[in-house]
Structure 1
Amino acid sequence: MSKYGTVLANPLQELTLPELRKRTSMKWRTHSADVLPLWVAEMDVRLAEPIHRALNDALTAGDTGYPAGIKLAEALSGFAQDRWGWTGLDVKRTAIVPDVMMGVVEMLRLVSSDGDSVIVNSPVYPPFYSFVEHMSRVIVESPLNSTNRIDLEALEETFQQVTANSGRAVYLLCNPHNPTGTVHTQQELSAVATLADRYGVRVVADEIHAPIVLAEAKFTPYLSIPGSESALTIMSASKGWNLAGLKAGLAIAGSAAADDLARLPEEVGHGPSHLGIIAHTAAFRESGDWLDALLAGLDANRRLLGSLLVEHLPPVRFIPPQGTYLAWLDCRDLNLDGDEPEGRGLVTLSAGPSAAFLNKGRVALSAGSAFGSGGDGHVRLNFATNQDILTTAIQRMEAVWNESGRFDHTSLTSL
């Protein structure tokens, strides 16, 4: 039973493969129909009923104009208090943005200039590289440690180096972390805030996966940490409720960053979709039961994935994620070769083991090389799908590892 008193069916088990193949989104149209797509961060779920109802009501009323008001901020504030015990989200220090990555870009524009350093914890979400470099900032990597956590000593060394001689820098924090699924602890974030203050580094936090935190972990909003007052963060319902096609995000300023956020150009607020704002508001305000059912399903899939890897791909090293629905798989011991990637876009798939899994096993995964240093020989797998698809995908990957390539192609669309 959910904390809201309602028991809902597992959203991940509601759709079959033939139903999913009718979709026209990137996940289901990038590859041919014999490929199982477990790459880009779309979930194989229906819309939560309150979101569907809110959108239907808006369409029936012809309410398809420009976004306005603070309803999204108010809904997220209530959700944050309920889920995370965070009472510090001041709706007066918020602004709607087109989506999280465009919000990141706009926040970086507020607190940095051309040529400034932007520090990331690699391996990390590929658009961090492409978007930041496109806006003429310099990416500086501070790699995660061997357990996929922030290496605080390395981070301090990086802060010290990039701020020497009065250099200006921003730390682009991914919380929870993509692709590893690491959920940073309150203690880790407090240490980050201390270091950022010591070296004068501004923090911009991408917290898009905040609603997707699994049973044993607890999400801590960066702005809830003492010492984070000069930071800016961006949140969204996009990942938690599968709303990537309904664009919206919310930028939030710490108390000492309010003046920075006030300089955000007015036209940025025209970027989100009005229907996106409606959908995201309904997600945060009315769709907690659905989210609880989803989290239970994701936890079951995470455990299933661990068992499948032990049974079918024992050389693969895997630290179960604490959040997101993404698994970061170390496939180096499989000795699967493939071409190197070109660029770091979302559709960079043919590289290293991901190329072998795609070309020989017809399973699409994200190439680890696209995630920066530490990504070679890895793949990112999206386990937000039904268990039959997940099981079949791992069995196909096993066939590739065994170099048989002789699985029955007539069964590829039989789920």
Structure 2
Amino acid sequence: MTRISHEPSGEPNPLRFLTLDRLRCRTSMKWRRYPADVLPLWVAEMDVPLAGPVVRAVADALALGDTGYPEGAGYAEALAAFAAERWGWHGLAVERTAIVPDVMLGVVEMLKLVTGPGDPVIVNPPVYPPFFPFVTHLDRRIAEAPLGVDGRLDLDVLERAYRRAVEGGGRAAHLLCSPHNPTGAVHTAQELTAVAALAERYGVRVVADEIHAPLTAVGVDFVPWLSVPGAERGLSLMSASKAWNLAGLKAAVAVAGPEAAADLALLPEEVGHGPSHVGVLAHTAALRDGTPWLDALLTGLDDNRRLLSQLLAERLPGVLHRPGEATYLAWLDCRALGLGDDPAEVFLERGRVALSSGPEFGTGGAGHVRLNLATSPEILTEGVRRMASAVR
């Protein structure tokens, strides 16, 4: 599989457009959860204007009154073309896809297909917090296989978790976060091939959440889960949601490996009624025509990663930070600051800056915070200034 490198797009950096005053006019969760004196650098919403092709697609639909139920394979076709162009992966077969309301509800539906009530679902903490309640509300049981100290998959720990999960002959699944949230690790082809081999050996079904895949940093290779040898029985959830800031326009695509097609075929027809038709149109436009905007964003995110490293070194040298290879999220180890298990509480109370709470990410999260760096350099700088003021 040959990856196609993206080139500079010539588009302006979308992270530099919106002022703080303009952003505070927004009514979404990021800007309404906390009082106006709090600087929000927490939930995964970006401080960007939407890509032009997305705006036009939505405006055209509204002008036409095209706000009914979704139909057709346009979203999956656009995703397949994007995957071929971006990652050199030509194995995304449109006939083995289904639209689902969003990635997490798609995860739930995939887990219903391959596990039953009470079955274990393996996760790799610290990991995206909604994994825990979505799995348990589905009446499945969380089984942890924590990341290694390097923030990457620990294959020995994972194998032990697989072995325990299938003891007694039951079914088990592995909910794989790829790229990983919150560490930003991009799993390598070697790592994923080893996971696939373990999954086959123990009969564990892997469901991959690949929502952050388009947000892989410049120069880093993203490897789709279903592209690795041995992952033919796998299932994946993909979306334009995170990369183009479309969380409020719900839509995602479930993709089955060749040997999981029969599982996906059992997905109830009514699941496909859940996505927003306008969301599907927006995501399709993003994937088809929004890559120049995405490339400009990725360049801006690289700049912000470097800026964050510099700011932390200057103002919070006790914070350990390994810049991520993907996502627009930074995982910060604040344990040396002596702020307790949940430093986010301290930064909020003393610094009036909102960050995501580390303990919510499961084992390995204590003493950490997650920071959203998809904002302007000025807001990012102010955020770190407030954090530093909280520990003086």
Q: CA deviation at 1:215?
A: 1.9
Q: Is 2:20 the partner of 1:17?
A: yes
CA distance in 1, matches of 2:165, 2:208: 19
CA distance in 2, matches of 1:383, 1:167: 42
Which amino acid is 1:382 matched to?
A: N
Q: How does 1:283-322 map to 2 (within 5 A)?
A: 283-322=286-325
The corresponding residue for 1:375 is 365
Asked whether the 8 Å contact 1:118–1:172 carries over to 2, the reply is yes
CA distance in 2, matches of 1:3, 1:228: 27
Q: How does 1:9-408 map to 2 (within 5 A)?
A: 9-337=12-340, 352-402=342-392
Asked whether the 8 Å contact 1:174–1:207 carries over to 2, the reply is yes
Asked whether the 8 Å contact 2:9–2:295 carries over to 1, the reply is no
Normalised to the residue count of structure 2, the TM-score between the two structures is: 0.98
Secondary structure at 1:158 match in 2: helix
Q: CA deviation at 1:3?
A: 4.5
Normalised to the residue count of structure 1, the TM-score between the two structures is: 0.92
Q: What are the ranges of 5 or more consecutive residues in structure 1 without an aligned counterpart?
A: 338-350, 403-415
CA distance in 1, matches of 2:349, 2:25: 23
Asked whether the 8 Å contact 1:247–1:276 carries over to 2, the reply is yes
Q: CA deviation at 1:401?
A: 1.0
**Residues 319-362 of structure 1: CA distance to partner in whole angstroms, max 9, x if unpaired?**
1100000000000111114xxxxxxxxxxxxx721001001100
Asked whether the 8 Å contact 1:216–1:322 carries over to 2, the reply is no
Secondary structure at 1:229 match in 2: coil
Range with greater deviation from structure 2 (162-171 or 48-57)? 162-171
Q: CA deviation at 1:165?
A: 1.8
Q: CA deviation at 1:167?
A: 2.4
The corresponding residue for 1:406 is none
**Residues 266-320 of structure 1: CA distance to partner in whole angstroms, max 9, x if unpaired?**
0000000000000000010000000000000000000000000000000111111
CA distance in 2, matches of 1:311, 1:146: 25
Q: What are the ranges of 5 or more consecutive residues in structure 2 without an aligned counterpart?
A: none
Q: CA deviation at 1:216?
A: 3.3
Q: CA deviation at 1:200?
A: 0.4
Which amino acid is 2:250 matched to?
A: K
Task: Give the fraction of aligned pairs with identical amino acids, expressed as a percent.
Answer: 62
CA distance in 2, matches of 1:4, 1:138: 44
Q: CA deviation at 1:71?
A: 0.1
Asked whether the 8 Å contact 2:109–2:267 carries over to 1, the reply is yes
Asked whether the 8 Å contact 1:117–1:169 carries over to 2, the reply is yes
CA distance in 1, matches of 2:282, 2:104: 18
CA distance in 1, matches of 2:356, 2:342: 10
CA distance in 1, matches of 2:211, 2:245: 11
Asked whether the 8 Å contact 1:3–1:289 carries over to 2, the reply is no
Secondary structure at 2:167 match in 1: helix
Q: How many residues are paired up?
A: 388
